Amino acid sequence: MTIKVDERNIYLHDVALSEALASWHAALDAAGLLDTLPGETIALDQALGRVTAEPVWARISSPHYHAAAMDGYAVRAEETRGATETSPRLLKIGSRAHPVDTGDPLPPDTNAVIKIEDTHIVTQDGVEHIEILASTPPWRYVRPMGEDMVATELVLPANHRIRPQDIGAIAGCGHTQVTVYRRPRVAIIPTGTELVKPGESLKPGAIIEYNSLVLGALAEEAGAVVTRLPIEIDVRAAIKATVEQALATHDLVVVNAGSSAGSEDFTASIVAELGTLCVHGIAMRPGHPVILGVANGKAIAGIPG
Give the separation between CA 183 and CA 220, rounded to whole angstroms.
10
**Radius of gyration for the alpha carbons in the chain, expressed in angstroms and rounded:** 33
Q: Looking at residue 263, what is its pLDDT?
A: 62
The pLDDT score that the predictor gives to residue 286 is 87
CATH number of 17-36+184-303: 3.40.980.10
Q: Which whole number is the average pLDDT over 25-46?
A: 96
Neighbouring C-beta atoms of residue 283, cutoff 10 Å: 12
pLDDT at residue 8, as a whole number: 47
Q: What does the pLDDT read at residue 9?
A: 42
Domain ranges of the chain: 17-36+184-303, 42-61+157-181, 67-143
Contact criterion met (CB below 8 Å) for 114 and 136: yes
State which CATH number among 3.90.105.10, 3.30.1370.60, 3.40.50.700, 3.90.650.10 fits the domain covering 42-61+157-181: 3.90.105.10
Would residue 163 be called left, alpha or beta, if left means φ above 0 and alpha means ψ between -120 and 50 degrees? Answer: beta
pLDDT at 58 over 50: yes
Question: What contacts 269, CB < 8 A, 6 or more positions away?
Answer: 5, 6, 7, 8, 10, 236
Average pLDDT, the chain: 93
Q: What is the pLDDT of residues 117-133, one digit of tens each?
A: 888 899 998 999 999 99
When pLDDT is averaged across residues 295-305 and rounded to a whole number, the result is 94
**What is the pLDDT, as a whole number, of residue 262?**
63
SS3 203: coil
- 92-96, 141-145, 264-268, 295-299: range with lowest mean pLDDT: 264-268
pLDDT at 260 exceeding the cut of 70: no
Report the pLDDT averaged over residues 278-300: 92
pLDDT score of 1 more than 60: no
Q: Write down the pTM of the prediction.
A: 0.79
Q: Rounded mean pLDDT of 105-124? A: 94
The 10s digit of each residue's pLDDT in 19-32 is 999 999 999 999 99
Q: What is the pLDDT of residue 107?
A: 97
Q: Strand order of the sheet with strand 112-115?
A: 98-100, 72-75, 112-115
Average pLDDT of the segment spanning 237-266: 88
Which CATH superfamily includes the segment(s) 67-143?
Molybdopterin biosynthesis moea protein, domain 3. (2.170.190.11)
Query: Is 272:289 a contact under the CB 8 Å cutoff?
Result: no
Are residues 181 and 50 in contact, defined by beta-carbon separation less than 8 angstroms? yes
195-207 per-position pLDDT tens digit:
999 999 989 999 9
CA distance linking residue 7 with residue 212, whole number of Å? 25
- pLDDT level of residue 261 (50, 70, 90 thresholds): low
Query: 202, exposed or middle or buried, with CB in 10 Å at 0-12, 13-18, 19+?
Result: exposed
DSSP 8-class letter at 104: P
